[in-house]
Each structure stands twice: as C-alpha cells, then as structure tokens.
Chains A and B, each alone.
Chain A
Amino acid sequence: MSPNPLHTYRLSLRTRATSWYVGLLALALVACNIGVYVGVRTYLKLSLQRALSGTAQTIADDFLAKLPVKGEPWVLGEVRESYSDSPSDHYVRLSMADRVLFQTADMRDPAIRVADMALPKLAETPAFHRMDVRSHAVMTYVLPFHAADGRVIEVEAGTSLFAMEQTLGSLSKILSVATVLTLIAAAFGGYWLMKMPLRPLVVLAEKAENIGRKELGERLPVIPTGDELERLTHSLNRMIERLEDSLAHNYRFSADASHELRTPLTIMRGEMEEMLQIENLPAQAVENLVSTLEEVERMSRIVNSLMTITRLDAGGERMDLQTLDLAALARSTMEHLRLLAEEKELSLTFVSEEPVYICADPLRMKQVLVNLIDNAIKYTPGGDFFDAAMQGNDISVSVRAVGDEAHLEITDRGAGISEEALPFVFDRFYRADYARSRVAGGAGLGLAIVKSIVAAHDGSVSITSAAGRGTTVSVQLPRVVSAMAPTTQDGASGDRQSRLHIV
C-alpha cells in the first residue's frame, strides 16, 4: 500500500545539500581565480610598461637631450655603452626616418631578431604597441624625440612577452588544479559534515515511519538540538496528536453510531418476531414481516461490519496472533465452502506446494479467505454458462512462499471488473456492478473488511481483472521464515510473536 521505505529515495538531502554547496563553492572559486589571473596579468603588464617607458625616457632625457651640445657620435657612443649588454629578453632601438641609429643585440630566449621588427611609423605622441614577430608576442614603447633642429628620433624599447605569458600560463594551471582539489576535498568534507546535523533527521524519519502502523500512541523522540530539527519534532508530534484526536473521534463516532443503531434494530427485530407468532396471520402479512426481518438482518450485518472495519483501522482490535500455516487454513476454508460452489456447478481448485507460515489471527485470516472465496463463487456464473472446454477450473486458490512473503491468490472466471471500477473495489460500500451484487446479497463491505484485516497484519491486497475473463485477488503477507515447529508448540512461539507485534 505504501511502497516508500526510506532507502528507496535515491537523492538524499545530504547529497543534495552537498551538491549545492560544492556547486556554489566552484562558482566562487572560478570567479576568484579569474580575478587573481586578471589582476596578476594587469600588474605584470603594467610593470613591463613602466620598465619600457622608463628606459625610453632615460635615453631621451639623459642622452638625446645633449644632442645639440655633444653631437650625434658622442650620444650614440654613450647609448651603445649603456645598452649593448642588454639582457636577452628586451631590446632598445633608435631610429630616425628609415635609418637605424642604434639597436641592441638580438633577443634570445625566445630568439627574435631586432631587424625583423618593422621600424615604427612616425608618431607624434609616445605609445605602446603590441606586435607579433614570427609568432612571438612583443611589446614595444615608442617615444618620438623632437630634436632642436626639428628632426624626430624614434626611441624604441621593447620586450618579448614570452616570460610573462609563461608565468600567466603556470598561474592558471596552478589555479585550476588547486580549484579541482579544493572542490573534491569540499565535496567529501561537506558530505561527511552534513552527516552530523542530518543524523537526528534520519532517526526521526525511521521513527515516524513506524508510528501509525499499529497505533498512534507513540510520539517522536525529541532530540534536544535546539535548532529547527527540534522544532520540527515538536510540530510533528503535535500533528500526530491532532491526527490521533481525529481518529479517536472518528472511532467514537462509529462506535456510538453503531450502538445507537443496534438498539432500534433490536426492538424492530424482536417486535416483528413476536408478530410472526400471532396465529392465523394473513399470508401477505407474514410475507411482509419475513421480508422486513431479512432487511433488519442485513442492516445488523452492515453495522457489525462497519464496526469491525473501524476498529481494525483504528488499531483498537485485539489480535490473537499466532504462527499458522496459511496453506492449510486456505485449504480447509475452501473445503467448508465447496458445497456453495457445487450448488452452482463450479469447480474449486487448490494449489500449494508447501506449508507457508504466517503470523496471524486465525479467525481474522479465515474471514479474509471466506470473504474472498465466497465472492469468487458469487460472481462466477453457474456451470451451464460455460462451454465444456472452459470447465474444470472455475475458481482456484493458491498459496505460495515468495521470498519473505506469503502470497495468496484467488482467481475466478467471472465477468470481471471494469478497469474504472478496479481502484475502488476495496472502498466501503463500493459495488462494481450495483445490480449484480445486490442479487448476490452483499453489502459492499466484504472487500473493505479484507483490506482492513490484511492491513492490520502488515500485508497488502491487490486486484487484477480482465473483463469477461475473470478476476484475481492477491494478498501479500509477511512470512514467518524460520518456522520453529509451529504445529504443536503454538502457545509459546505464537505468544512471543504476538507480543512483539502489538508493541
């Protein structure tokens, strides 16, 4: 009925929380890494630019400014003296129009020939340029120097960006690896960390699962965590209380109603029985009285059944639980009802291989069997409705052990139940086919009782039907697997079982 044991939920809260947390952390880390990368890159670039512009400015201020005084050869000589041994990864070049006045040695690491670089165009203002020389990136700073005689000397200072790019490349690699490692650590750590605050929740869920199976008397244990969980527990307990109240109210109502109905039924029945004793009563009067008595009888049965269902559902019915062989019980019950089937020329078949032990109240379980087999007999048309080929297996009862469950199946060859009606046949007062079930004399409560009894035994009941071909009712009950010689020593083992069950 309720196929939702806790472990079937694939995505636990813990997994979800951890995923969210790791996802958000990943976003934050990526944003942070991008920031670091961009910052470092900008810083490195600015440092290079400052160095290049400093070099160019120094040349302009310290040497070229003395051009009118000392003359070109002296100036170039000074420049050569200062910059010839320039480090391998940058260069300096002075040019005027298309003539190169001075240039440092070629750069190594990576090897870039200064001559390969185009001479700067005539520019009025100093500016940075980026160019690709044989697929190597180079940054240059060009400072136009306006000499007093109107000539313009382009002072060029440049550097390969290789080192900077290498640094940035390493940085991004380090950042990526660190991010991935952090996330993995965070995932495991977070998952482990979530275990502690969620542990009470798991306990709570397990407890809640068990409350209400038998009765609501229990309450959830309050774990004094002082947080939302404790509040949740209190809220749930208050909810259970309200539920219990309303169930009790419902139960009391049913009990009172059936009590109030029984007294007038007693009077009606008694007075009509008395009337029937009157001698020389007209035939019509007898007929009417008898018919009314039958209806009183039917109402009494309905009141009884309703009361039984209410008590079973409210968990207020005492169960005399003992270990019993469902196969044997089914066989004997079927034999008791065989005559009813024979009246309709229906055959009853029983299929079971082994004893199948369950822990149940024998009288209640028998009622399940009686109701189901009687239904099957009622709703299967008499023998002469079937052609000879179909004869021989009208109603079959089977009991099997499947895993840790006992399966009881009752199959008939009746008219079947329509698909729309199937989900409701276990509801109180529901009749799949009103006219037909009325002829058969049911009150529409037989299957509801079956369902309540089976549920009170922690079992489930289901029905399948094919219109025109018949109906199968299946009952699943927990099986007693380690049947310890339950035939004679019933008392002891049965007793222990029942106590376990009721608690």
Chain B
Amino acid sequence: MRILLLEDEPKVSALVKRGLAAERYAVDVMADGREGLEYAEAYPYDLILLDLMLPSISGLEVLQRIRRTNQHVPILILTARDSVDDKVKLFESGADDYLTKPFAFAELMVRVKALLRRGPVNRSSTLRIGDLELDRLTQQVKRQGRRVDLTAKEYSLLEYLMQNPDRVLSRNMIIEHVWDQSFDGITNIVDVYVRHLRSKIDDGCAAKMIRTVRGTGYMIRSEMGA
C-alpha cells in the first residue's frame, strides 16, 4: 500500500510517516502543493493524506484538481480548521474523510484503515473476538457462550470496540462514534460506560478483553494475553 502525505509542517509529516511506516505502509511526503499535485497525478497511490494549508497551491485546490482526473483514490483531509462550512465544502469537493488537528495517531490509523478497506467492508452480521460474540441482527452479546445483557449504549460501545480490534480508541473517538460531538469534553462518561461494560464482559473471566491504554484510551484485545 502506498500513501501520499501532503503536509508542510516537517515535524507533523515526520511523525505521521513514522507511524504509517511502522504499520508497513510506503509513504511519500510532499511539503508543497504544486509538487504534491504532480506526484498525485504521476503515481497510483492507494490513499492521499492532505493538509489544507499548503504553500503555492492550497489544499482545497489540490483536492479539486486531483478529483478532476482521479475519482477513485481515497483522500483524507488533515486540517486545523473545523468549521461546519469548511467540512461541507470539503465533502462537496470530493474528500472522503476529515480529521481535525490535533488528532490521536490511533484515530488517524482507524480512518486510514477504514478508507483502504473500503469496498469489502466487514458488514457480517456477527463480530467475533476470542470467546466474545456480538450478533448485529439480534443485538445479542455472548461471552463464553453465556448471554450478556447490555444497555443500548453499552452495546454501541462494545460494537465500536469490536469493529476495531487491537486498536487503541481514544475517548474522543469513542464519544464521536457512540455518542455525538455535543458530548465533546464530557469524556468521563466514556470511563463510566467502559467500567460498566467491562464488569459485564470481563467479570468472572480470567482473560480481560477490554484494556485501558493509559493516556490514550481503550482497546479490545483479540489475543488473550496477560
């Protein structure tokens, strides 16, 4: 998988490049809009990460010009602006997703993966991790074959965690997916719900599936470790 990163802030691009490289992606970094556009037109990238504030040509124009020739490559916008107007304009111009700085790297990874696997998305009716099973049709959850009763929010939370196994999900990501952005800043609600969910899923089981990643968020582990 080859990714083009258009970002003029060297430290940010270095950081993102390192992170993506660690996930075994090949990354080209361009700091200039015009050069970036040339690269985007010359090579068949699987994904383009585009910062909006670029020298010589703005990110928005780069986006529009890429879309004129290439309708298919997924484009993820990284930006420090987050007004609703901006977002609407970006989606109208052909952006696939949008990430506001400062972002958790975990969140960037979740979105990159989601864009790259677009098409054959895992829409199977049952999510299964180890001995934990979630049936999307009946909305039933089983651990070690035993049924676990969850509230609606606990169910959504678990579904979101199970869709992204082994991936750290920040509180903000969880808030935006399971609640909505009006709950921004009320991150302690995530902690409370995760605690409740954990007591229902993990209590009485030797292997704890829901783990806390200090300073970042939560993740669900597929391999039962220590």
Residues of A at under 8 Å CB distance from B? 255, 258-259, 262-263, 265-274, 276, 286, 289-291, 293-294, 296-297, 300-301, 304-305, 307, 311, 316-318, 320, 336-337, 339-340, 343, 363-364, 366-367, 369-370, 374, 441, 443, 446
Contacts and interface: CB of A to CB of B under 8 A. Distances in A.
Nearest to B88: A318
Nearest to B16: A270
Nearest to B15: A270
Given A262-B102, A301-B184, A367-B182, A270 B12 contact: yes
Contacts of B18: 274
Contacts of A270: 12, 15-16, 19, 102, 105
Interface string B138-178: 00000000000000010000000000000000001000000
A378 to B, nearest CB: 9
A61 to B, nearest CB: 111
A311 B105 contact: no
Contacts of A290: 214-215
B184 A339 contact: no
Contacts of A316: 83, 85
B15 A271 contact: yes
B82 interface: yes
Contacts of B224: none
Interface of B: 9, 11-12, 15-16, 18-19, 53, 80-85, 88, 100-106, 153, 172, 179-189, 192-193, 196, 214-216
Nearest to A286: B214
10 contacts: A262-B101, A265-B101, A272-B215, A304-B100, A316-B85, A317-B83, A317-B85, A337-B186, A339-B196, A367-B182
A294 B9 contact: no
Nearest to A301: B185
Contacts, number: 116
B182 A366 contact: yes
B184 A304 contact: yes
Contacts of A294: 215
Given A274-B105, A289-B215, A300-B102, 10 more contacts: A255-B81, A258-B80, A263-B101, A267-B9, A267-B12, A269-B102, A270-B12, A293-B216, A311-B83, A363-B180
Contacts of A274: 15, 18-19, 105
A307 B185 contact: no
Given A270-B19, A316-B85, A318-B84, A340 B101 contact: no
B213 to A, nearest CB: 8
Contacts of A271: 11, 15
A263 B12 contact: yes
A240 B36 CA distance: 43
Contact of A366 (B16, B85, B180, B187): B180
B180 A307 contact: no
A259 B215 contact: no
B216 A273 contact: yes
A204 B185 CA distance: 44
A340 B85 contact: no
B153 A336 contact: yes
B182 A267 contact: no
A370 B186 contact: yes
A367 B184 contact: yes
Q: Taking each of A263, A266, A267, A317, which has the highest tally of chain B beta carbons within 10 Å of its own beta carbon?
A: A266
Contacts of B12: 263, 266-267, 270
A262 B187 CA distance: 20
Q: Taking each of B100, B179, B189, B215, which has the highest tally of chain A beta carbons within 10 Å of its own beta carbon?
A: B215
B188 A340 contact: yes
B80 A336 contact: no
Contact of B82 (A273, A293, A307): A307
Contacts of B9: 263, 266-267
Q: Taking each of A263, A301, A316, which has the highest tally of chain B beta carbons within 10 Å of its own beta carbon?
A: A263
A484 to B, nearest CB: 26
* The 10 A-B residue pairs with the shortest CB-CB distance in the complex, in nearest-first order: A290-B215, A367-B182, A265-B102, A266-B102, A366-B182, A262-B80, A270-B15, A293-B215, A259-B80, A262-B101
A140 to B, nearest CB: 102
Given A266-B12, A337-B189, A273 B104 contact: yes
A267 B81 CA distance: 16
A276 B103 CA distance: 16
Contacts of A258: 80
Nearest to A362: B182
Contacts of A446: 185
A267 B11 contact: yes
A339 B192 contact: yes
Contact of A370 (B81, B182, B196, B214): B182
